[in-house]
Amino acid sequence: MVDAVNSGSVDAPGTNRLTTNDVGSAFEGFIGKADESINKFLAEKTDKETGALNLSSADSLQLQRLMADQSIAAQTGTSTLKAVKDNITAAARNI
């Protein structure tokens, strides 16, 4: 990495180095899938005529599970990005 810094070049994404773009892209996909699952579930449970959401107890638990999956993906992505940023900052201080 020192050679890249000294030469003024930067490695392209996907060259065996973890970047914030790599992490962000991966977790955007996870969060997008979770969003789609929730939207599909809500569309299936919504009355087309009245727009009312009709949920049984089991449906409510299913929705909570889907929302928990979404939250886990978002929180994991956020904490992973923070860890990468902190590591980059620490590495920069050591140069």
Which tokens sit at 53?
């959401």
CB 20 within 8 A of CB 13: no
The angle at the Cα of 35, spanning 31 to 40, to the nearest 5 degrees, equals 150
Instruction: Give the side-chain half-sphere CA count within 13 A for 9.
Output: 7
Please tell me the predicted confidence (pLDDT) of residue 45.
96
Domain boundaries, the chain: 20-94
Q: Give the Cβ contact number of residue 92 at 10 Å.
A: 9
| pTM (predicted TM-score) | 0.69
Residues 1-32 have pLDDT tens digits of 444 444 455 566 656 777 788 888 888 999 99
